[in-house]
Amino acid sequence: MKLRIYQLIKSFLPVVLFVNLLASCNKELPYPVPIVQPPPAGSSITEILADPNYSILKAAVTRANLTALLSDKSKVFTFFAPDDAAMQYSGIPSAAAVNFFRPGQLDTLLKYCLIGGVKYTAANIPASFPNLYLQSNFILAPPSPSLPPGLRMPIFPAKNGSALFVNNIPITQADIPAANGVIHRVAAVIMPPSQYLWDRINADPNLTYLKAAIQRADSGVAAASTLQAALLNPAANLTVFAPTNTAFQTLLTGQITLALIAQGMDPGTASATASALAASPTVFQNPALYSVLTPLTVKGLVVYHMLGIRAFSVNMPTVATSIKTLLNSAIPAHPGVSITAVFGMGGVTAATIKGLGNATASNFLINPTPAPGGTSDQHYINGALHEIDQVLIPQ
């Protein structure tokens, strides 16, 4: 009898334990107590803009409906902020003048000066060539076959010695702390570009030879793989050193003259004939020169004038430095071009670039006036352009 009772207890014991386990699981759990993070100490970006020196910028922020965004202390921003002097220098004379702009225009302008989600102080900006690539809060365009989804217009902080820049604009006061990030005061409004590199090359009357050279290089190439397509690619990041028409005429006249003399023509006739041939950018489409100016040869020459990075004059090294060009994608061992810049009180006062085959260095035509009038530091959606006074020779 005792054995049977023991067997019954043993058989029911797992059931009892399971019931007890269920009972314990059905007990009410304590309500979670949220961990409240205290808001960051200090003033928000919006509050800092109450400073009278930012009266025009504050009016622009208000009209663009960005006050709430820049007041949010749960977010983090790096803001390149033009003070009143910078706004006036850039053509916005007063807070009242802000009303002449549509809110959407100001939204675009200000979001290009804003980097969301990260605080970049002066110490985070490397002193190296060419610059720091960051994406601003300005979304370039809705997704399309030629545009990656959510691509934001890039902006380029840089350091050269102790001087700080964003694009080619000096930072006049760095590291102004805010509860939701950091502010860098800048000397002018950082304008977002609205055109592509090809737009400039295609329209500039002083770059018609470069345009013709690009078109010759693209002969027989599928449209998507052409240089023109790269110069229209919104996701590209390039620097173009653009020889002037005079630079191309000088090179072509000299090269054609030597070729004609080598064929037995007397020097005087060869020089006159070469001058006539080189007098127009149609020289690249002259069938008599097709065997010399082949698409592959011309393409090699053109890509030797391009970098796969965006570099403004303020990024240029102060001692002669070899920089790789797009030609290195075909010839990895090529030393590239040698670049040197001279800095003065207002930034770069002179800069040179020398090709491997050039006897002397080519000069940057320093004039950063906004396109189409300027010749250096021209900023486009997919790169920067500098006009130079010689064609760079790769060999």
The pLDDT tens digits for 86-95 are: 999 999 999 9
Residues 146 and 275 placed together within one structural domain of the fold: no
Residue 325 belongs to a domain:
yes
Q: What is the pLDDT of residue 34?
A: 60
Which of 164, 186, 208 is at the close of a domain?
A: 186
pLDDT tens profile 182-196: 999 999 999 999 899
Q: Is the pLDDT reported for residue 128 higher than 80? A: no
Helix runs in 77-155, H state only: 84-89, 103-112
Please state, as a whole number, how many other Cβ atoms lie within 10 Å of the Cβ of residue 255.
Answer: 17
Angle made by CA atoms 117, 121, 127, in degrees to the nearest 5: 120
Residues 118 and 224 in one domain: no
Q: What is the CATH number of the domain that holds 112?
A: 2.30.180.10
Q: Could you give the CA distance from residue 303 to residue 161 in angstroms, rounded to a whole number?
A: 30
* 201 and 182 within one domain: no
**Together in a domain, 142 and 227:** no
Same domain membership, residue 126 and residue 247? no
Residue 83: give the domain boundaries.
45-186
Among the candidates 143, 160, 186, a domain finishes at 186
243 DSSP β-pair partners: 388
Same domain? For 166 and 233 the reply is: no
Checking DSSP bridges between strand 383-388 and strand 378-380, what pairing results, if any? antiparallel
Residue 164's φ and ψ, nearest 5 degrees, are -115, 145
- Among 117, 151, 186, the domain-final residue is 186
Q: Length of the chain, please? A: 395
136 with 254, same domain: the answer is no
pTM for the model:
0.86
Contact between residue 336 and residue 322 where contact means Cβ atoms under 8 Å apart: yes
Determine, yes or no, domain membership for 103.
yes
pLDDT value for 149:
63
User: CA–CA separation, 217 vs 265, rounded Å?
Assistant: 29
- Residues 118 and 261 both lie in one domain: no
- Residue 17 is assigned to a structural domain of this protein: no
What is the pLDDT, as a whole number, of residue 27? 53
Task: Report the alpha-carbon angle 352-357-361, nearest 5.
Answer: 15
Asked if residue 271 and residue 140 are part of one domain, the reply reads: no
When the pLDDT of each residue in the chain is averaged and rounded to a whole number, the result is 88
Q: pLDDT by residue (tens digit) across 303-329?
A: 999 999 999 999 999 999 999 999 999
312: region left, alpha or beta (phi > 0 left; psi from -120 to 50 alpha): beta
- Do 263 and 159 share a structural domain? no
The answer to whether residue 20 sits within a structural domain is no
Residue 192 lies in a domain: no
Q: Are 79 and 182 in contact (CB under 8 A)?
A: yes
Cα angle 86, 387, 335 (rounded to 5 degrees) comes to: 115
Q: How many domains does the chain have?
A: 2
Phi, psi of 383 (to 5 degrees): 160, -170
Residue 33 lies in a domain: no
Could you tell me if 216 and 347 lie in one domain? yes
Residue type, 169: I
Copy the structure tokens of residue 141: 């365009």
Residue 353 lies in a domain: yes
Chain position carrying tokens 């000088």:
250
Structural domain includes residue 242:
yes
Examine the domain organization and report whether 226 and 368 are in the same domain.
yes
DSSP letter, residue 378: E
